[in-house]
Structure 1
Amino acid sequence: MRPYPSRSYQAIFWLVFGGALAYCVYGLIVGDLYFVGKSGRGAHLHGVPAWCFTAFVTFLGAGVWMREFSTISSRYRTRFEILFLVSGFSLLVLGWNYSP
């Protein structure tokens, strides 16, 4: 059994995940989720793709939390982790391919 992560790792996870989720929720409220491009224009997400990306971030965070910080038995933890990650990535693909 692996050791439980230290509090500093938990704090870093919650800061990164909380910041990403807060940015996504702010983008949903404003109606424009913007990602800066390396060179040139960035990407703007509106409507359904923005909602799908926010759900992806939420499910990805839940999957990572389940993997790293959960105290559930390993058999159930692995099932929930796979469920969260597959759900998140499938929502990302659905949002990416969405065309009204």
Structure 2
Amino acid sequence: MHLPPLRAILVRKATGLVRCLGAANFFLEGSAMSDEPKTGPFGLNPTRIMILLMGALVLLISIGMFLGGPNSYQALRDASNAAKEPTAEQLSGD
């Protein structure tokens, strides 16, 4: 009876083990490759969404500062209300 060398047995066992692990990985993850799909250079992820939201907030604050903020709005309302009432010159008839 001829017995194969020990090295050949170990190689066959290791190859079978690798195939079993690959099959288990396929069934557990649902695909043969464990890499996640690429989303491209402009794909949105949670970090990029947060950066976009922060940029929009900075833009909103900048526009508010450019327009003068809430104090200028109150002054505009006061001036509008004052313009609705006649002035002393208009009352005297001059």
Q: Is TM more than 0.5 here?
A: no
Q: Which has the higher contact order (CA 8 A, sep 6+)?
A: 1
The structure carrying a bigger strand percent of its residues is 1
Larger Rg: 2
Q: TM-score, normalised by structure 1?
A: 0.30
